[in-house]
Amino acid sequence: MKWEVVIGLEIHTQLATASKIFSGASTTYGAPPNSQACLVDLGYPGILPVLNEQVVRMAIKFGLATNCKISRRSVFARKNYFYPDLPKGYQISQYELPIVSGGHIDIVLDDGEIKTIRITRAHLEEDAGKSLHENFHGASGIDLNRAGTPLLEIVSEPDLRSAMEAGIYMRKIHTLVRYLGISDGNMQEGSFRCDANVSIRLKGDKKLGTRTELKNLNSFRFVEKAIEIEVERQIEILEEGGHIVLETRLYDSDRNETRPMRSKEEANDYRYFPDPDLLPLVIEDALVDELKDSLPELPDAKRVRFVKEYELSDYDAGVLTANLETADYYEEAVRSTTVASPKLVANWVQGELAAALNRDGLDIAEAKVASAELGLLAERIEDGTVSGKLAKEVFERLWHDGGSIDDIIEQRGLKQISDSGTIEKLVDDVLAQNPTQLEQFRGGNEKVIGFFVGQIMKASDGKANPKQVNAILRKKLNE
Ligand code: ADP
Ligand code: MG
């Protein structure tokens, strides 16, 4: 490939406040249209906005977690444009002086390489309302419930070099805002969405190519697919000698294509100016210090700790810490028991548990097997009560019917056979029943050992302790 892909993301994160950024109206999702829009949100003249303190705290937390500078003085600006869902005729945002700027985060690429992505800025702004086009014959409805909902717009430098890197970066920011508790990150409800700026240039070129901006991508997969398809489009145009038009495009996931939406606006189109209704936002050092002290353990630190404390691979630790709920579940499972191998528990969380959650479309908070139970199950595998295979049956039974692990093992006769007398008898029977294979073994064919093990396990209904079966079988064969 002679082309280099260049991507910068603008991520809009809805902040998890009870009320709006400049009014007391509720931010609860899904209320009847216009039931949560007060005079401020409706843009009535003469009404004054009042800044919600919580959004300031949340923005600062994000800045601290991403090595950014927290501006001691920032300014709200009016971004003027006309749209039916924006009754004031301007959006209150931050322009020249954002609250947070100049930081970076690390992402882990698929090959394990760590790459630093710079964050240009993160600024506070209000969301607009929504136009509703369904159910209105020849007209559109306007729902202003979302108007005034607080957003933190997180802008990256153009440091991302592939659709995959963009996806990893976006997931990392998602993980981070949820760890910080500043956003629910719910993508179906639009609480976390992004615009992807995409350009290409010849490898080695210093100057950036002309970009297009892909608007409102609301899933990780769409971000990746939209960028991939847009890169292909741009390469095709440049290779045919054409040029890229600076424009805003929409991604159509049904057709997997991007389409022009409008020519790209410039900052001066918006006539930004400081909002005279809002004083500059001044932040005291004491507040920053307080929030610094209140930060939770962040994903990177947790990952490193999991590797050290639980002797996990970097990969396992990364998967388990990708969301806080999974990390907490895992730690509770390990800590609530005397299980010797935290790796065993990690396998179960990423294996059976993840599969069951996925199958039933549940969040880990809704898991039907509690963390302590999973820990106990791992303990029962370790102490030899059940084999790993039968433990899966116990897990399924727990998931569907509840109950206690030890009762299920008892009632269902799932207990592993570890009594050497019983296993010797099974081995003897199987060897006696298969003289041909025994001859083959004596003739030097080692492969039939696997056959014998299979037969013995079958004869025991899968309950014989496989380690003991192997040992006893080999002993007998060598006699
Ligand atoms: P605007 O606000 O008009 O979209 P910005 O200059 O703030 O413009 O840039 C927004 C995003 O676009 C940033 O994430 C930035 O990294 C990215 N970006 C800027 N130029 C390019 C380019 N040539 N190719 C890819 N991304 C770019
Ligand atoms: Mg933009």
Nearest protein CA to atom 7 of ligand 1, as residue: 155
How much distance in Å is there from the Cα of 7 to the middle of ligand 2? 12
Q: Residues near 152 by Cβ (< 8 Å), separated by ≥ 6?
A: 12, 13, 15, 55, 58, 59, 62, 122, 123, 124, 177, 182, 183
With 80 as the cut, is the pLDDT of residue 415 above it? no
pTM for the complete prediction? 0.87
| Substitution site in 7, 9, 10, 269 for ligand 1 pocket (most atoms within 8 Å of beta carbon) | 10
3-state secondary structure of 307: helix
| Substitution site in 3, 159, 197 for ligand 1 pocket (most atoms within 8 Å of beta carbon) | 197
Q: Which domains does the chain have, with CATH numbers?
A: 3-291 (no CATH), 297-411 (no CATH), 420-478 (1.10.10.410)
pLDDT of residue 406: 87
Q: Residues near 40 by Cβ (< 8 Å), separated by ≥ 6?
A: 20, 22, 23, 25, 47, 48, 49, 148
pLDDT of residue 339: 77
Question: Tens digits of per-residue pLDDT, 289-302?
Answer: 999 999 999 999 99
Question: Tens digits of per-residue pLDDT, 142-157?
Answer: 999 999 999 999 999 9
Atom index in ligand 1 nearest the CA of residue 199 equals 24
Atom index in ligand 1 nearest the CA of residue 156 equals 14
Give the residue, 133 or 68, on which the prediction is more confident: 68
| pLDDT above 70: percentage of residues in the chain | 100
How much distance in Å is there from the Cα of 127 to the middle of ligand 2? 15
Whether 244 is in the pocket of ligand 1, judged by its Cβ within 6 Å, is no
Average pLDDT over residues 257-284: 92
With 80 as the cut, is the pLDDT of residue 267 above it? no
Average pLDDT over residues 132-140: 88
Orientation of helix 466-477 relative to helix 448-459, angle to 10°: 130
Average pLDDT over residues 251-267: 89
Nearest protein CA to atom 13 of ligand 1, as residue: 8
Whether 8 is in the pocket of ligand 1, judged by its Cβ within 6 Å, is yes
Going by pLDDT thresholds of 50, 70 and 90, the confidence category of residue 95 is very high
Whether 7 is in the pocket of ligand 1, judged by its Cβ within 6 Å, is yes
With 90 as the cut, is the pLDDT of residue 366 above it? yes
Nearest protein CA to atom 24 of ligand 1, as residue: 199
Q: Tell me the chain's radius of gyration from C-alpha atoms.
A: 30
> Torsion angle of alpha carbons 236, 238, 242, 243, nearest 10°?
120
Whether 247 is in the pocket of ligand 1, judged by its Cβ within 6 Å, is no
How much distance in Å is there from the Cα of 129 to the middle of ligand 2? 19
Whether 4 is in the pocket of ligand 1, judged by its Cβ within 6 Å, is no
Ligand number with the minimum distance to the CA of 231: 1
How much distance in Å is there from the Cα of 192 to the middle of ligand 1? 19
pLDDT of residue 157: 98
Whether 156 is in the pocket of ligand 1, judged by its Cβ within 6 Å, is yes
Atom index in ligand 1 nearest the CA of residue 267 equals 3
Question: Tens digits of per-residue pLDDT, 213-224?
Answer: 999 899 999 999
With 90 as the cut, is the pLDDT of residue 386 above it? no
pLDDT of residue 390: 86
How much distance in Å is there from the Cα of 231 to the middle of ligand 1? 16
CB atoms within 10 A of CB 26: 16
Whether 211 is in the pocket of ligand 1, judged by its Cβ within 6 Å, is yes
Whether 466 is in the pocket of ligand 1, judged by its Cβ within 6 Å, is no
Kindly state the tokens that stand for 298.
Answer: 């962040």
